[in-house]
Chain A
Amino acid sequence: MSAETGALVGDSAVLEATALPALIQALRDEGYEVIGPTARDGAIVFSEYGPADSLPVGYEDSQEGGRYRLIKTAGRRVFDYVVGPKSLKEWFWPPRQPLWTARRGGRGSYTIDPPDPKVAPRRAFVGVRACDLAAMAVNDRTFDNGDFADPAYLKRRDNAIFISVDCARPAATCFCASMNTGPRSSSGFDLALTELEDADTHVFLVRIGTEAGAKVVARVPHRLSVESDLERARAVVTQAVARMERSMVPGIDALLKRNFTHPRWTTVAERCLSCGNCTMVCPTCFCSDVKDHTSLTGDVTTRVRSWDSCFTLDHSYVHGGALRQSRMSRYRQWMTHKLSSWWDQFGVSGCTGCGRCITWCPVGIDITEEARAIAEGDLTQAAE
């Protein structure tokens, strides 16, 4: 395989699985910090790669409501796990972000340190999935929507590239096909990989989405794809769609709007722990809290923005008390915002079908099952 094919944006290349470390190195050579999947503490999580780190090989995940297990296989396949508990969001709006620090000077004066970050690092996110890309598209509307733009988010976003993978093996909790977000990466990637493996070959089809992606491919031994490679890649995606077990009921946005008093909300509230896990693992949940932290001497104050959740009592605190006291009202707020009022607010669904909220709910509450239960007992049928 040669490195001088002149592959351009829109082209597809093929590289041997043995060239993956070279791909990672090419990203470093292009000046990116590499963030990729890592097997740690019994799960696949995104983390920063050190100089010696590379993609984990031979792992599968088993996911169900409230249950995740990482399994080491004897195989050579690289991407047979799907999403873990971490989404990309912590790299774009960190769990705890100092906004500014004020320092008291002499004679009533003070200074304010400028907001963070001054310069965002160039980062390459490897092994992200179509649902992660879809989530970034959702997040772009949250953090830059005409009314409001978050400069820290935008700086980080501008310096990020995404090397995605089309999922060959969905988890039991995945429902991206019904949300039209996957399992094939359709936009938002710089490079999109499809793992093609049989008894004789183990290669990756690489679709080139951007100039930045093309530059990386040029550094790695590859050949241009032929029709049979594309055929194989299509088959991988078709098979993944066929294997997907869960789906979101159609018309969920309107369904939830007319079922605000559905008895199912009470049923789910008996199970819901209001622990906030679903919102923490959700790749698009963006709620935050802003608090001032003062030093003991009172000379330094830092204003910090940290992740919050609509499942916390204080999240709905206004003058006089918290609006959403009950777990019922908190779960309903989350689900209706995610699947319904997000459309009104941002013109898109807040859910990408990644299934993280199902897996990482400590008691296995399944958003697709809740949606179905509401659909089955639809209080008022939609007007024709």
Chain B
Amino acid sequence: MAGARKPRLAVHKFASCDGCQLTLLDCEDQLLDVVGEIEIAYFLEATRQEIRGPYDVSLVEGSITTAHDIERVRRVRAQSKMLIAIGSCATAGGVQALRNTADIDALARAVYPNPEYFQTLTTSTAIQDHVKVDFELRGCPISREQLIEVVSAYLTRRKPNIPNYSQCMECKQAGTVCVMVAHGTPCLGPVTQAGCGNVCPSCERGCYGCFGPKEKANAKSLARWFEGSLGLSGRQTHDLYRTFNAGAPAFCEVGLAAIGEKTDETVAEVTR
């Protein structure tokens, strides 16, 4: 590709902790290969240099929580040939999506001395609730290997190898002993998408569901098992399901049901 212009990459941030975009800087050995193949045109976490759009690829981190966010994400979309949403915030609204089922005014009063200066939407939602997203990379934070895989796939014009099966598939292939079956530790692995690299179960912890619901996740059946066989209370089941992917429909609905609350229409709407 001698003489060909390198693809331009931009990294945009919405409501988020920056952990996912830092994954790009965390690529260590492969970072030089990354910048060898693509031009980092806009990435405020890494450099003050700003190259104006359009961009070939935009990585979008964070959720949409303000009216301003909505306008900005539309501009990002307009400037990007390919838009990849990265992380739980961008793909499911993040932990801040807990607000979707809470009283936002009460929250604002509890946090801010002068809530009248504070303007926000009542919901925290995923990027694809507002604009077309070409690919979603799950995780809280995303996996470095998966990020490199998506970039490599883009550069060679192939489909990324990002499985949407359960965390259990990853555990078993790594030889990790099941923490739920062998220890009785509640674990979201069977309903959570693989990709983290088996982090928690390999340290004898249950999966926290950072990568969000797997395809066709049967969160209801697992919740029944938590309560019927592992002795969890409805509140404990709710708390397990409602963390980093609190707004993901499969988790949100079952989490709320566990504490006797129904998903109301607003929530159903914002959680797709």
Contact = CB atoms under 8 A, between A and B. Distances in A.
- Specify whether A and B are partners: yes
Contacts of B218: 270-274, 327
B182 A41 contact: yes
B221 A314 contact: no
Q: Quick one: which of A68, A271, A273, A277 has the most chain B CB within 10 A?
A: A273
B151 A296 contact: yes
Contacts of A42: 177, 182-183
Given A280-B169, A295-B152, A360 B221 contact: no
Interface stretch (A176-184, A186-194, A286-294, A342-350): A286-294
B221 A273 contact: yes
Contacts of B36: 296-297
Could you say which interface size class chain B belongs to? 35 or more
A294 B161 CA distance: 10
B57 interface: no
A256 to B, nearest CB: 23
Nearest to A274: B216
A52 B190 CA distance: 36
Given A294-B153, A296-B30, A362-B190, A270 B173 contact: no
B156 interface: yes
Contacts of A90: 175
Contacts of A86: 175
A312 B229 contact: no
A294 B152 contact: yes
A275 B177 contact: no
Contacts of A41: 176-177, 182, 204
Interface residues of A, number: 49
Which has the most chain B C-beta neighbours within 10 Å: A66, A90, A270, A314? Answer: A66
A69 to B, nearest CB: 7
28 contacts: A68-B178, A68-B181, A69-B182, A85-B182, A86-B175, A95-B173, A271-B221, A271-B224, A273-B218, A273-B222, A274-B218, A275-B166, A275-B168, A276-B165, A277-B178, A280-B172, A294-B152, A294-B156, A296-B33, A296-B148, A309-B165, A313-B216, A314-B163, A362-B225, A363-B190, A363-B221, A363-B229, A364-B225
Given A276-B166, A311-B165, 8 more contacts: A280-B169, A294-B158, A307-B173, A309-B165, A313-B164, A313-B216, A314-B164, A363-B222
Interface of A: 40-43, 45, 66-70, 84-86, 90, 95-96, 270-277, 280-281, 291-298, 306-307, 309, 311-314, 325-327, 359-360, 362-364
